[in-house]
Amino acid sequence: MKGSYLPIHPDILAYNAALASGDQALCDALAAVIDRHISKLDGAECKVWHRHPVWFLHGNPIVGYSTLKGCVRLLFWSGQSFDEPGLKPEGSFKAAEIRFEPGDKVPSKDLVRWLKKSAAIQWDYKNIVKRKGRLERLV
C-alpha cells in the first residue's frame, strides 16, 4: 500500500550484522536511508537477492549494496540515466555505482536525491531475460 512502511527484511539485518564493524556501520546507515525512502512506495519490497540487499519496485530492482574488498558498493540499476556526477557507470547496461570505504560518511542529500531518481527513472530489469538482454525504459 502506498504510504505504508515495510520494515527492513530480517535477512538484510542479518547480512549487515555479519559484516566487519566498519562495513556494518556503513551498511546499517545505507539501509536505514534507503528503507526510509523506498519501502513506503507502492509496490516496494526489499530482500537479499543474489546474496546482497536489494530494494525493488513492482519486482524491478532499483537499488542495493554489496561489500567488496575494502569498500561497500551502492548500486542503482538505472543510475546511468540519473545524470549524476557522483555515480560511475557499472557493467554493460544502465547501472551506476558509488563506493564507500569504512569510516566514510554517507552523503545523505545526494543519497536521497538518487533514491528519488531511482523511483522516477527505471529500466525494466525484471524482464531483461524475456527480452533477450534488451532493456526498455519503464518510467
User: Tens digits of per-residue pLDDT, 39-58?
Assistant: 889 999 999 999 999 999 99
The Cα–Cα gap between 58 and 76 comes to: 16
Site of grid cell 561489500: 67
Residue 139 has pLDDT above 80, yes or no: no
- Which listed CATH number (3.90.1150.200, 1.10.540.10, 3.60.15.10, 3.90.1150.10) goes with 10-120? 3.90.1150.200
The Cα–Cα gap between 16 and 26 comes to: 9
85: left (phi over 0), alpha (psi -120 to 50) or beta: alpha
Of residues 138 and 10, which shows the higher confidence score?
10
Q: Which residues pair with 137 in a beta bridge?
A: 123
The Cα–Cα gap between 114 and 136 comes to: 20
SS3 label, residue 38: helix
**pLDDT band at residue 6 using 50, 70 and 90 as cut-offs:** low
Domain boundaries, the chain: 10-120
